[in-house]
Structure 1
Amino acid sequence: MAKNVDKEIETLESQLKTASGKDRVEILIKLSNEYITKSYPKAIEYGFQALFEAREIGDRTFEIRALQSIGNGYFQSSNYLKAEEFYKKSFEIASEIGDDERGSRSLNNIALVYWKLCRYDEATDYLMKSLAIREKLGNKEDIAQSYENLGIIQASLAKYEKSLEYFHQALDMYEKIGKDENLAGILNNIGMVLIELNRYDEALKYLSRSLDIKKKLGYKSSIASTLGNMGVLHSKLDDFDTARKLLEEAKQIYGNAGNQYGVCESDIELANLYLKSGDTENAIELLNKCAKSSNKLGAKDLEEKSLTLLADIYASLENYKKALEFFKKAAKVRNEINKEKVEKAIAELEVKYETEKKEREAELYRLKYVELKRANDDLIATQKKLREYQDNLEKLVSERTEALRRANESLEMSYKKLRETLDGIILTMTKLVEFRDPYTAGHQERVAKLAVAIAEKMQLDDDTIDAIRMAAMVHDIGKIYVPAEILTKPGKLSSVEFMLIKNHSEAGYEILKSIEFPWDIAKIVRQHHERLDGSGYPDGISGDEIVLEARIIAVADVVEAISSHRPYRPALGIEVAIEEITKNAGKIYDNDVVEACVKIFEDGSFEW
């Protein structure tokens, strides 16, 4: 089936070359939907092309479908706020033209976004609105989908019996319809709930049947979900080797598809597996990583799980200070998803911690931990006294000081190696863009050189200058998603072509955001085409909303571009470039940055 998907894409892309009008928009939407199983950025790209051309021909139905396709691409790539934006736009248009079927689909999709963001009341509200419309229309498949999604919400709230009721209603309808894709999903969900109810034999039957169907269909990302659930099941059965293999395979599939939510889910289950097998160090490393990435994604459910597990681990290690630190972080997240009981307990603990006498601290920790465990079922019920370690404290401090010295030496060596690796990655990314666009070979390196010179003239600190150099070296990495024939086109670009070019800064952000640089490189790359007056892209932000690093790269980028040769014109020279930035200083370019740039050319301290 996977080969059939590839062949379908090949056929559609061939048809696209000669299609026009509505036929062309239909093909673009189909391509966006097909690429959902292969490449989220490509799915989004075709969705935007379809949206632009649907608006060109004035077809509102096509516009709704294109907006939904773009939303699906962002949803699958874990960019839930972007997905919400496009789903809501599609619903507004569906409401305007009275398209109830597509309107109900948009409501359903908005509900799934809120589910991912742990906003369960809103998710249920939107699902009920969608279900009411679907029951009125009588579409069995859509009704079954609504029941399935209601079951997912109930499972997220740990209401497993109610969840199974909804799931079995959906399963009965899907069985009658006979659509394998839907059957595979609902079987997987039932298996997942049965695991929570400790009905492992039943769970294995449902998950195995789901996996067989998904393998037949060839939908890799969907296969990963079931593999992960089977990994959890085998972990509960203490079959650690099988569980680890299944979870690692699921994680790899999620990673290849760019699904960071799935990667984080897999890491949490792997951490639980490591804990069961006594590997605390690897468990802590995975959970710290997952806590950071889930925070960036806005996936509060995964962030809360990671932080709570870390609190449990440190409590079991009798490091109660660290345990409390992570428990407080977890409680903060729980508070955001309406778990008020934990917030109250933490507030009480804070008051006690600050006001009780020093000699009572250890006992207070123990007593409050017992209370919090009963309230939240998160932390262990008892704890040993902290004073057991006081007799050997001086000896421990001495040993730890020596260990820290050795660790610092190792850290410095590791940092050096990491820096060399980062430089290698950056250089590789730079060469990748140049390979796609030979006419601008060396552009990113020259922009980086000029941006660093400007930053030095402005007397910025070394760390900021390093961030500017790194970001400038990959500021056009997003152009790898732009067709080469557009990048090297000698004539004027069409409006669609220019729209694709403009998308490169946002595409660059999507590529870089999951890489853990020491600086926020992805944000700088995203903003390097923003302007002080808000006329830039992709977000149209203005003034100090644009980070200084991006404002510096923006000026360096313009100066290099104007003074260098391009496929559509010869080089205009540095004088024209300086005139451009000087004329617009304080309007679209940062005045201090322009002043520094002009000085380095005037005093002759800079050469390309």
Structure 2
Amino acid sequence: MRTITRESLTAVAPPVATSGEALVRSADDAHAAGDRPRAIELYERALHMLPSSATGTAATVLRRLGRVHWESGQLDEAIDVLQVALVAATAAGDTSCAAHAQNVLAVCHWQRGQLDEAEWLYRATRTSAVSARDAALVAMIDQNLGIIESVRGNLQSALRHYQSSLAGYRALGHRAHLGRLLSNMGMLYTALTRWDDADRAYDEAAVLCEEVGDAGARTMVEVNRVQLWLARGAVERALVACDRILGSAAAADARVLGETLKLRGIAARETGDHAGADDFLARALASARERQDPLLEAETLREVAEVACQLGRNRDMLRALSQAHHIFAGLRAGRDLADVGERAQRLEQRFHDVVARWSSSIESKDPYTQGHCERVARYACALAERAGFHSITMFWFRVGALLHDVGKIVVPIQILTKPGPLTDEERRIMERHALAGAELLSDVEFPWDVLPIIRNHHERWDGRGYPDQLAGESIPLAARILCIADVYDALTTDRPYRKAFARERALDIMASDKGAFDPELFEEFRSLLVEGEFAELSVSVA
């Protein structure tokens, strides 16, 4: 693609063999037929052939070119072209073209997960469209606002926007736009579990797309309908539909490809084909990242995590969940998106469940430490709450607490369960677990930094701990808290070589070990136990 700048609008080449207008018509036909590469080529050739005085026509061509780039998943190119189209349309006094360009710019922001920016642009565009008496654009904006509300989980608000758009298009007789709108309504009805309404919406959408020759929209109706079949448990129908779409020319469409691969992966997982699910979801993930589609990426990662969970691949599941959580949290950062928030909470609950199972499996090597990770997490969270950790931090602190001994996987069971004192060599092996745990989870992108808890929970306030010999406040606060809870539980639990100490005796032993603990935190911990407040403290984990 040639670089399009504001200056190039007045420096286009003169006409040669074919008129620019004819090329624009050919480009429109190619676009309608779903041949986007050809449409881009023809629109660019048309721009070269338009006379320099045709600024208004150039703005329209640029707007259409930007739209095709967006549909092709080329967001950077789309935004560049649309911004020039907006300038050209404004210079030509074409408020309708400017509003349409602004609308597609908003769509680009929406696809990147910048929902606040997209909504602002949509509402500004709608105001311009109302002023320009452009009823078709008003209907289009209502549809797009419905999409925003649907993503946010405001389903009834989304339905109102869609119904307003539907009424507008029907009043105008714009059947060309109705198919895409009804396809979106089908997805919304699916989310509302209104199966019959979803079926009717998809049926009408398919007929309308066929009538107007909108091949791309017709394919998206098929793709969206797969979600309905999966929701209703019709997995075989979903498999057949996905394979048909992936085997057709429509799979060249980046939007179609990514969504279909994700759905095909879900269907494979539901039939127990985990290898197939892994393959399709990996391809969907690559497509989402190439297309810069964060919502699809996060949704796909969530499905990847589900496959890993079913196969017992805890580490892979944690990695996928943490990446999905990071993306969902980024989407939520602009505004508290209800739906994304609910998804993030479900991910957090899944994180907790997986981590709890994993910590239990670690403890199963040593019958004397059954429940150790859970108890340590409870003590540590109580102290962390006193230390001022807020609710979001508390959740991830608990995850780290549950995983603090994950490195014991590398320690031989005969050392873990030895009834007498450890030899120097055995102690060196035992002390490796802190580093081993941190290395094991080093490539898991936790939303909050839990690795210092795992790596540094055996450091001492006086610097004589391991593995890094950190001292004082150079020891991460979370690790200092965990250290106190870990030692207390060890002292108050039966071990192969001794019986558990009573609470007061355990606290006295800890107090006598000068230099072991952060003195202020230790006194807070003692007061929690002595005051009897610990039992009443509850920590939200999801």
Superposition map of 1:257-336 within 5 A: 258-336=252-330
C-alpha deviation, 1:165, in angstroms: 0.3
Residues 30 and 38 of structure 2 are in contact (CA less than 8 Å); yes or no, is this contact kept in structure 1? Answer: yes
Residues 142 and 164 of structure 2 are in contact (CA less than 8 Å); yes or no, is this contact kept in structure 1? Answer: yes
Distance 2:221 2:412 in 1: 50
> Counterpart amino acid of 2:45?
Q
2:196 aligns with 201
Residues 29 and 50 of structure 1 are in contact (CA less than 8 Å); yes or no, is this contact kept in structure 2? Answer: yes
CA deviation map 1:223-242 (0-9, x unaligned): 11111122221222222222
Kindly tell me: are residues 225 and 38 of structure 1, through their superposed partners in 2, closer, same or farther at Cα, counting changes over 3 Å? Answer: closer
Residue identity (%): 16
2:112 aligns with 117
C-alpha deviation, 1:77, in angstroms: 1.2
Superposition map of 1:486-565 within 5 A: none
CA deviation map 1:329-387 (0-9, x unaligned): 222322332359759979x99xx99xx9986899469989xx99x999xx9xx99x999
Residue 160 (structure 2) pairs with residue 170 (structure 1): no
Q: Specify every segment of 5 or more residues in structure 2 that has no aligned partner in the other structure, as ranges.
A: 1-13, 364-368, 379-390, 415-542
C-alpha deviation, 1:261, in angstroms: 2.3
2:500 aligns with none
Kindly tell me: are residues 366 and 126 of structure 1, through their superposed partners in 2, closer, same or farther at Cα, counting changes over 3 Å? Answer: farther
C-alpha deviation, 1:21, in angstroms: 8.6
Residues 225 and 250 of structure 1 are in contact (CA less than 8 Å); yes or no, is this contact kept in structure 2? Answer: no
Give the number of the structure with larger relative contact order, counting CA–CA contacts within 8 Å between residues 6 or more apart: 2
Kindly tell me: are residues 175 and 325 of structure 1, through their superposed partners in 2, closer, same or farther at Cα, counting changes over 3 Å? Answer: same
Superposition map of 1:181-580 within 5 A: 181-253=176-248, 256=250, 258-338=252-332, 363=373
How high is the TM-score relative to the length of structure 1?
Answer: 0.53
Kindly tell me: are residues 174 and 277 of structure 1, through their superposed partners in 2, closer, same or farther at Cα, counting changes over 3 Å? Answer: same
Distance 1:89 1:226 in 2: 32
- How many positions carry a matched residue from both structures? 360
Superposition map of 1:77-92 within 5 A: 77-92=72-87
Q: Structure 1 runs of 4+ off > 6 angstroms?
A: 343-346, 365-368, 389-394
> Counterpart amino acid of 2:169?
Y
C-alpha deviation, 1:145, in angstroms: 0.9
Residues 21 and 57 of structure 1 are in contact (CA less than 8 Å); yes or no, is this contact kept in structure 2? Answer: no
Kindly tell me: are residues 367 and 86 of structure 1, through their superposed partners in 2, closer, same or farther at Cα, counting changes over 3 Å? Answer: farther
C-alpha deviation, 1:25, in angstroms: 1.9
Question: 1:62 aligned to 51, 54, 57, which one?
Answer: 57
Report the secondary structure of 2:332's partner residue: coil
Kindly tell me: are residues 83 and 290 of structure 1, through their superposed partners in 2, closer, same or farther at Cα, counting changes over 3 Å? Answer: same
Kindly tell me: are residues 364 and 125 of structure 1, through their superposed partners in 2, closer, same or farther at Cα, counting changes over 3 Å? Answer: farther
Kindly tell me: are residues 122 and 22 of structure 1, through their superposed partners in 2, closer, same or farther at Cα, counting changes over 3 Å? Answer: farther
Superposition map of 1:588-599 within 5 A: none
Residues 117 and 300 of structure 1 are in contact (CA less than 8 Å); yes or no, is this contact kept in structure 2? Answer: yes
C-alpha deviation, 1:315, in angstroms: 2.5
CA deviation map 1:189-214 (0-9, x unaligned): 11110001111111101111111121
Residues 184 and 214 of structure 1 are in contact (CA less than 8 Å); yes or no, is this contact kept in structure 2? Answer: yes
CA deviation map 1:41-94 (0-9, x unaligned): 11111111121222x433111220221122122112111111111011100122
> Counterpart amino acid of 2:121?
Y
> Counterpart amino acid of 1:45?
E
> Counterpart amino acid of 1:275?
R
Residue 35 (structure 2) pairs with residue 48 (structure 1): no
Residues 38 and 257 of structure 1 are in contact (CA less than 8 Å); yes or no, is this contact kept in structure 2? Answer: no
Residues 245 and 251 of structure 2 are in contact (CA less than 8 Å); yes or no, is this contact kept in structure 1? Answer: no
Kindly tell me: are residues 329 and 365 of structure 1, through their superposed partners in 2, closer, same or farther at Cα, counting changes over 3 Å? Answer: farther
Distance 2:406 2:58 in 1: 64
C-alpha deviation, 1:288, in angstroms: 1.5
Residues 40 and 69 of structure 2 are in contact (CA less than 8 Å); yes or no, is this contact kept in structure 1? Answer: yes
Kindly tell me: are residues 143 and 252 of structure 1, through their superposed partners in 2, closer, same or farther at Cα, counting changes over 3 Å? Answer: farther
Report the secondary structure of 1:98's partner residue: coil
Distance 1:392 1:266 in 2: 46
> Counterpart amino acid of 2:122?
L
Superposition map of 1:87-98 within 5 A: 87-98=82-93
Report the secondary structure of 1:112's partner residue: helix
Distance 2:30 2:96 in 1: 23
Residues 77 and 258 of structure 1 are in contact (CA less than 8 Å); yes or no, is this contact kept in structure 2? Answer: no
Report the secondary structure of 1:118's partner residue: coil
Kindly tell me: are residues 248 and 365 of structure 1, through their superposed partners in 2, closer, same or farther at Cα, counting changes over 3 Å? Answer: farther
Distance 1:336 1:365 in 2: 32
Residue 175 (structure 2) pairs with residue 180 (structure 1): yes
> Counterpart amino acid of 1:229?
N
1:145 aligns with 140
Residues 268 and 306 of structure 1 are in contact (CA less than 8 Å); yes or no, is this contact kept in structure 2? Answer: yes
Distance 1:294 1:155 in 2: 20
Distance 2:374 2:315 in 1: 12
> Counterpart amino acid of 2:241?
L
Kindly tell me: are residues 272 and 257 of structure 1, through their superposed partners in 2, closer, same or farther at Cα, counting changes over 3 Å? Answer: closer
Distance 2:65 2:122 in 1: 20
> Counterpart amino acid of 1:170?
S
Report the secondary structure of 1:338's partner residue: helix
Distance 1:367 1:319 in 2: 23
2:34 aligns with 38
C-alpha deviation, 1:104, in angstroms: 0.3
Kindly tell me: are residues 330 and 61 of structure 1, through their superposed partners in 2, closer, same or farther at Cα, counting changes over 3 Å? Answer: same
Distance 1:365 1:271 in 2: 38
> Counterpart amino acid of 1:150?
L
Stretch moving more, 150-159 or 104-113 = 150-159
CA deviation map 1:18-59 (0-9, x unaligned): x969992222222222111332111111111121222x4331
C-alpha deviation, 1:289, in angstroms: 1.8
1:579 aligns with none
Stretch moving more, 214-223 or 102-111 = 214-223
Superposition map of 1:8-27 within 5 A: 24-27=19-22
Note the aligned Cα RMSD (angstroms).
Answer: 4.0
Distance 1:213 1:27 in 2: 27
Distance 1:292 1:28 in 2: 34
2:154 aligns with 159
CA deviation map 1:534-586 (0-9, x unaligned): xxxxxxxxxxxxxxxxxxxxxxxxxxxxxxxxxxxxxxxxxxxxxxxxxxxxx
Structure exhibiting the larger radius of gyration computed from Cα positions: 2
CA deviation map 1:257-306 (0-9, x unaligned): 63122211011111221222222221122112211221122111111111
C-alpha deviation, 1:131, in angstroms: 0.4
Kindly tell me: are residues 392 and 160 of structure 1, through their superposed partners in 2, closer, same or farther at Cα, counting changes over 3 Å? Answer: farther
Q: Specify every segment of 5 or more residues in structure 1 that has no aligned partner in the other structure, as ranges.
A: 1-18, 395-608
Kindly tell me: are residues 327 and 364 of structure 1, through their superposed partners in 2, closer, same or farther at Cα, counting changes over 3 Å? Answer: farther
C-alpha deviation, 1:393, in angstroms: 10
> Counterpart amino acid of 1:32?
A
> Counterpart amino acid of 2:37?
P
Distance 2:412 2:215 in 1: 54
Residues 250 and 256 of structure 2 are in contact (CA less than 8 Å); yes or no, is this contact kept in structure 1? Answer: no
